[in-house]
Amino acid sequence: METSRKHLEDLNEIRQIMERSTKFLSLSGWSGIFAGLFAIMGVIAAYLYLDGGNIYYDESLRMLSGDRQISPRVFLLGDAIVVLILALISAYYFSLKKAKRMGEKMWSPVMRRLLFHLAVPLVTGGLLSLVLIWQNNVNLVAPLTLIFYGIALVNAGKFTHREIIWLGMAQILTGLAAAVWQEYGLYFWGAGFGMYHIIYGTTLYLKYDRKGK
Amino acid sequence: MKNPIRGLNKHFESRVRLGVMSVLSVNEQADFNTLKELLEVTDGNLASHVRSLENQGYLEVNKQFIARKPNTTYRITKKGRKAFEDHLSALESLLK
């Protein structure tokens, strides 16, 4: 009996070590919730700026430039970048906190792999969006940012909690829908970057964070 | 009937060695410090276990310098993977 318990412990430990050495598990649910909240604030700011949605956001970018202090193109780009920075800061902050609590190192080979697989599609999509904005092809920016972000999440999925793959799939589908109904880009953007993140963050929190305390 | 205990590998009796093999079986390679942090062991302890696994031909050692600091990385060998998998199957069959 005694030896069989030792064997069971051995097997459990092997499984844990395998998981810990291949997956970054300190991703906090709170960072998802906060990223979602910041995105929704960004969407509201854009909505108000575009006269409560009375003006299609694609048209406004070309026509309204004259009577505004800053051009809508610059405003929307700045808005998106502020949201991105706030989301990244909160992701870093909450993950660092959780990593400390779990006694896990933040900057590990797994983390580097995770970031690399996340960054390749994300940077590609980001640069492509900048090119499109520069060429006045703003219509496609909302769908493409959603699609590339979704691909990045699916790609990074094998290095962290599996739930992130579902988040990525949802972003891709929303991005495709946003490409079909381009005039509603802002709403799809709000759903993808705002609502989905909050749902995902809450799921992660309920499943892993609360239990871990 | 074959005695399942015979499938257990004596070299994997130590938790540290088992841990090293677990990490290397799912990662292409790992360096000394990563192993140390994952397994929460001291330098000397890890070094001696790693050396014995190396002597068995279960892992491959690669020493190099990164920014003038010595950096040792380990990879599992074919022989090591086979031995580890056999050991795991033996553990499982014992628990059935």
The yes-or-no verdict on residue B3 having pLDDT over 70 is no
Residue A165: per-residue pLDDT? 93
Report yes or no: B93 and A4 within 8 Å, Cβ to Cβ: no
The b/e string for A26-45 (b: 16+ C-beta within 10 A; e otherwise) is bbbbbbbbbbbbbbbebbeb
**Mean pLDDT (chain B, rounded):** 86
What are the extents of the domains in chain B? 4-95
The yes-or-no verdict on residue A197 having pLDDT over 60 is yes
Q: Which residue of A has its CA nearest to B17?
A: A14
The yes-or-no verdict on residue A40 having pLDDT over 50 is yes
Find which of A2, A6, A10 to mutate to test the B interface (most B CBs within 10 Å of its CB). A10
- Which chain A residues are Cβ-neighbours of B41 within 8 angstroms? none
Phi, psi of B8 (to 5 degrees): -70, 140
Q: What does the block give as tokens for A68?
A: 């505004």
Q: Residue B81: which residues within 8 A CB-CB, separation 6 or more?
A: B25
Residue A169: per-residue pLDDT? 95
Residue A65: per-residue pLDDT? 47
Find which of A4, A14, A105, A108 to mutate to test the B interface (most B CBs within 10 Å of its CB). A14
pLDDT in tens, A199-211: 999 998 888 877 6
Assign B38 a pLDDT band (cuts: 50, 70, 90). Answer: confident
| Residue B39 contacts A, CB cutoff 8 Å | yes
pLDDT in tens, A62-112: 544 455 555 677 788 888 889 989 988 998 898 888 888 877 777 778 888
Write the DSSP string, A137-206: -GGGHHHHHHHHHHHHHHHHGGGS-THHHHHHHHHHHHHHHHHHSGGGHHHHHIIIIIIHHHHHHHHHII
ipTM over 0.85: no
Kindly determine whether residue B91 and residue A20, on different chains, have CB atoms separated by under 8 Å. Answer: no
The yes-or-no verdict on residue A3 having pLDDT over 90 is no
Give how far A107 is from chain B: nearest CA, Å: 11
Give how far B89 is from chain A: nearest CA, Å: 10
Residue A212: per-residue pLDDT? 53
Measure the CA angle with vertex B43, ends B38 and B45; round to 5°.
90
Kindly determine whether residue B38 and residue A21, on different chains, have CB atoms separated by under 8 Å. Answer: yes
Report the C-alpha gap between A117 and A155 in whole angstroms: 6
Of A54-58, A122-126, B14-18, B33-37, highest mean pLDDT: A122-126
Report yes or no: A94 and A30 within 8 Å, Cβ to Cβ: yes
Query: In angstroms, how far is CA A93 from the centroid of its own chain?
Result: 15
Report the C-alpha gap between A63 and A138 in whole angstroms: 13
Residue B59 backbone zone (phi > 0: left; psi -120 to 50: alpha; other: beta): beta
- Selected residue with higher pLDDT from A148 and A109: A148
- Which chain A residues are Cβ-neighbours of B25 within 8 angstroms? 18
| Residue B94 contacts A, CB cutoff 8 Å | yes
Find which of B16, B23, B96 to mutate to test the A interface (most A CBs within 10 Å of its CB). B23
- Which chain B residues are Cβ-neighbours of A21 within 8 angstroms? 22-23, 26-27, 30, 34, 38
Residue B8 backbone zone (phi > 0: left; psi -120 to 50: alpha; other: beta): beta
Assign A5 a pLDDT band (cuts: 50, 70, 90). Answer: confident
- Which chain B residues are Cβ-neighbours of A14 within 8 angstroms? 18-19, 22, 88
- Which chain A residues are Cβ-neighbours of B88 within 8 angstroms? 11, 14
Q: What is the second-level CATH architecture of the domain B4-95?
A: Orthogonal Bundle (1.10)
Tell me the count of A-B CB pairs closer than 8 A.
Answer: 47
Q: What does the block give as tokens for A143?
A: 């769908």
pLDDT in tens, B53-85: 999 999 999 998 888 888 899 999 999 999 999
